[in-house]
Amino acid sequence: MKCFDCPRNCGVDRNQNLGFCRESDKIRIAKIIPNFMWEEPCLTGNKGALAIFFSGCNLRCKFCQNYQISHIGKGEEYSPQEFKDLLSTYNLSNFSCIDLITPTHFSSLLFQALKDFNSPIPIVWNSSGYEKVETIKKVSSFVDIFLIDFKYYDNQLAQHLSCANDYFEYASTCIKEISILKPNKFDNNLMQQGMIIRHLVLPENYKDSIKILDYIKTNVNDPVIALMSQFTPTKESPIKERLKPLEFKIVLSHAKKIELNKGYFQDLSSSSTEFIPKF
């Protein structure tokens, strides 16, 4: 079957050829980390997530902090049934949630695997935001929480760093739709349903971050945000400098000024390779 799972619309039969994401018609997992504590505290609680890192990516940002798995690609392949069976080997009550990390390019396969999977814990769709609203609607039948990036307002910047000159249209439409589909629900400070919008402030692009915050304020009900300063220049990144303290301070004060204050706000000490998981 030809693949139109994401806005790249490659139309390739992934059994025969590879599209932009360079993944076949099997679900490929780079790594599983049980009791993963690197997500927002309302997701990890004190048990941690069952974190499943998928190989490849449909966005493939040039500055990706997980370059080894998003660009180089490695891992074990599973059919949808094998993936479902794999999940059943874990005692899920030992985790706060199932964290599907970079799942968009496997959305049809994951839908087959999980559409009638009865999970006792929330399932998190942890994605780049470059996806179709039809995909969001489809996976929302088994996904409880969307942990979604909102990377760029300016499509020229999106083109330069992620070869996606329509990023804003896709991400903003998905984010609006999720806020309607999945209103936030918490139980004992743990999110059970809803959306967290992540934004990484990029060096020399704080004005783009301000536009993103303004968009969220105007278009999303009850927004929970995660504003991140952890950008770390990697060997492959076209951006070589680090975020300046003043740049992040300006973005933080803007969030405060427009009363976007529900969520998580890093400090500049987070800008370190220590915040990049090792694979």
Please give the residue ranges that form the binding site for ligand SF4 (CB under 6 A): 3-6, 8-10, 12, 14, 19-21, 58, 105
Local structure of residue 269 (DSSP, 8 states):
G
CB 131, min distance to ligand SF4, A: 9
Contact present, 93 and 194 (Cβ < 8 Å): no
Question: How far out from the chain centre does Cα 41 lie?
Answer: 16
Closest separation in Å from C-beta 108 to ligand SF4: 8
CA quadruple 255, 257, 262, 267: dihedral, nearest 10? 50
| Minimal distance, residue 139 CB to ligand SF4, in Å | 13
Decide whether 19 or 194 has the Cβ nearer to ligand SF4.
Answer: 19
At its nearest, how many Å lie between ligand SF4 and the CB of residue 149? 16
Least distance in angstroms from the C-beta of 212 to ligand SF4: 23
Closer by beta carbon to ligand SF4, 21 or else 49: 21
- Residue 186, classed as helix, strand or coil, is strand
Q: Is 59 helix (H, G, I), strand (E, B) or coil?
A: coil
Supply the minimum distance, in Å, between the C-beta of residue 211 and ligand SF4. 26
Written as one letter, the residue type at 138 is: K
What is d(CA 67, CA 234) in angstroms, rounded to the nearest whole number?
Answer: 9
Closest residue to bound ligand SF4 by CB: 19
Nearer to ligand SF4, 39 or 149 (CB): 149
Q: Closest Cα partner for 5 from 106, 142, 103?
A: 106
Q: Which is nearer to ligand SF4, 9 or 269 (CB)?
A: 9
Contact 61, 107 (CB under 8 A): no
- The string of DSSP letters for 124-165 reads EEEE-S-S-HHHHHHHTTT--EEEEE---S-HHHHHHHHS-T
Residue 9 or 141: the one with the smaller Cβ distance to ligand SF4 is: 9
Q: Which is nearer to ligand SF4, 9 or 88 (CB)?
A: 9
